[in-house]
Amino acid sequence: SAVISQKPSRDICQRGTSLTIQCQVDSQVTMMFWYRQQPGQSLTLIATANQGSEATYESGFVIDKFPISRPNLTFSTLTVSNLSPEDSSIYLCSARGGGVAGELFFGEGSRLTVL
């Protein structure tokens, strides 16, 4: 299994600013993903964080708004830029290990509130 740590666990930000969320996995993983969980909703995939190259974004999400880095196999960051109240959500980092199981593990999430 993989243990995923996210920082910060929660933050309150002003409109127009940016927040960077860090994700650290305790073992090397093949794939890392970022999800958003808006209040009362399910998880929506934002992007796949690719090691050493640009992230792969899902429809409706763009790099200018959600820049992502993944400098190595155990670490990734998600920045939510130019914040608006609509960005208030829980952002979750997830990682998939190797092997047949390929289970996806999740961090505890970062709860963002934009005022």
**Positions in the binding site for another protein (CB under 8 A):** 31, 33, 35, 41-45, 48, 92, 94, 96, 100-104, 106-109
From CA 38, how far away is CA 31, in angstroms rounded?
23
From CA 81, how far away is CA 87, in angstroms rounded?
9
Least spacing, CB of residue 42 vs another protein, in Å: 5
Q: How many CA atoms lie within 13 A of 32 on its CB side?
A: 34
Least spacing, CB of residue 43 vs another protein, in Å: 4
From CA 4, how far away is CA 77, in angstroms rounded?
13
Nearer to another protein by Cβ, of 85 and 99: the residue is 99
Nearer to another protein by Cβ, of 76 and 83: the residue is 76
